[in-house]
Amino acid sequence: MNRNFLKFAWILVLVFVLASCSTDDSGDTIDPTDDSVGVPQPEPTNPEPIDLSAYDNGTGVMMQAFYWDVEPRFGWWDNLSEKVPGWAAAGINRMWLPVATKGQSGGYSMGYDVSDYYDFGDYDQHGTVETRFGSRTELENLISTAHENDIEVIADIVINHNSGGGLEYNPYRDKDTYTLFNETHGNASGWFNRNYENFYPNSVSQYDPGSLFYEETNLDHHLDYVQDWLWKKDNSVAKYYMNEMGFDGWRFDYVLGFEPWVVKEWLNEVGGFSVVELWDGRASVLRDYVDETGSGAFDFATFYKLEEGLDRYEDLNTLKGEMLWQTHPENAVTFTANHDTEKDSNEDNFIKSSNKLKAYAYILTHPGYPTIFYSDFENPDFQDELKSLIAIHNSIAIGDTEILYVDNDEYVMKRAGTGTNPGLILYISTNNSTKRRTVGSNWNNVTLMDYSGNSTYNPTSDENGSVTIEAPANGYSIWSITE
């Protein structure tokens, strides 16, 4: 046979083989059309998964137990009481409640227009006795039910701005302001009455540290009277919430409106779990605040890296950026959505529904304390996957973190495990085809499976721990050992 013809035939075969492979730089990724394509590896029949409950790593997950303008009005506390046992069974160990006291908007208030810090649905003011969420009795029942199910209850605390007081002449502003809070003007409880001297400016303080809301009724925390009523006195807001109502910790609203020492002193006085809303995507700013106060902080740096990588830029290389969990895992409270982001019309402030589960897969496998948004967990299209991710988080999401590979449409991360806990490997792909990639694991000669249930592929690692894992099209997988 003509040698030139044979040479040409071999060239055609080589071109065909190369054309079937991915064009990724490393050459290790394959876009398979079936399981016969890729690196040959034995696939045993029906490998047995490990029992994740045997690997309880002592962590948990927080539920944000509300969304903006929750319904039904006056029935929210009872609604949550019914949810608590199921949340506990799923692995939730804390629940963050909306502001629980009476706001100026009465039965329509989400509590952020705080008026009476001690009216949990006891007093007829602002057009209603109950808060939007229900009565005090119903709230106390909810807290009791949560504790019976080993769930801590976190209070949302607004100590920056007030709303709903009476009108009075304010000599420091030379006009009438709504700064009178007493038994007949927005503070029926009679506890922590306020007037213009308690807000900026006053005879002691001439400046406002940066409030963007209710400027004329921004509390001055430098005043002994304000400090006493907020956290120092035996019947202060902090001590009443903890000792009388049974709250276990705090979510501090809009901390840009007051100095960090306020949070530090509050925690030194009463303790409890704490997370602050410092809406800043720079990890350095979050780190400084955590170091100064000792509080946890919502990891907005991680939130925006996920939003950029999955939505805005569609480039997973953003996940190599700085995030709070990398340096302060014990203080980083990670999240993919909250009541503000979900009602925000700015598309750069929320993660699209189609990318939500990939974002949850990220925060529930990485270090940090994850938060689940109520509307996502109660979404029937999401709930089963979120339960699976919570189970993975509470068991094998442990150990040192290492990014094994990242490019514009792939992200592979390893948790090394500890002791007998095997850890895991997360594989996120935004590619429209199934992807496979060979990576190094800590597992030698072990058959793996995807504990998210998104892939039925069962690769086996070699004697050096090298293994080829798979991610479904525009999805994720989470790999660990089998029995």
* Alpha carbons 253 and 402: distance in angstroms, whole number: 33
Q: Are 84 and 146 in contact (CB under 8 A)?
A: yes
160 annotated as ligand-binding: yes
Q: Are 324 and 283 in contact (CB under 8 A)?
A: yes
Cβ-proximal residues to 38 (8 Å cutoff; 6+ apart), any chain: 30, 32, 436, 468
| Chain center to CA of 288 | 20
Take residue 10 and report the two structure tokens written for it. 């071999």
Active site residues: 253, 277
* Alpha carbons 397 and 101: distance in angstroms, whole number: 37
Task: Match 């949550």 to its residue by tokens.
Answer: 80
* Alpha carbons 354 and 351: distance in angstroms, whole number: 8
Q: Are 274 and 228 in contact (CB under 8 A)?
A: no
Take residue 356 and report the two structure tokens written for it. 């939500």
Q: Are 272 and 249 in contact (CB under 8 A)?
A: yes
224 annotated as ligand-binding: yes
Take residue 79 and report the two structure tokens written for it. 């609604």
Take residue 120 and report the two structure tokens written for it. 């949990």
Take residue 49 and report the two structure tokens written for it. 């998964």
Take residue 241 and report the two structure tokens written for it. 């919430």
* Alpha carbons 221 and 160: distance in angstroms, whole number: 9
Q: Are 264 and 293 in contact (CB under 8 A)?
A: yes
Binding site feature residues for Ca(2+): 160, 220, 224
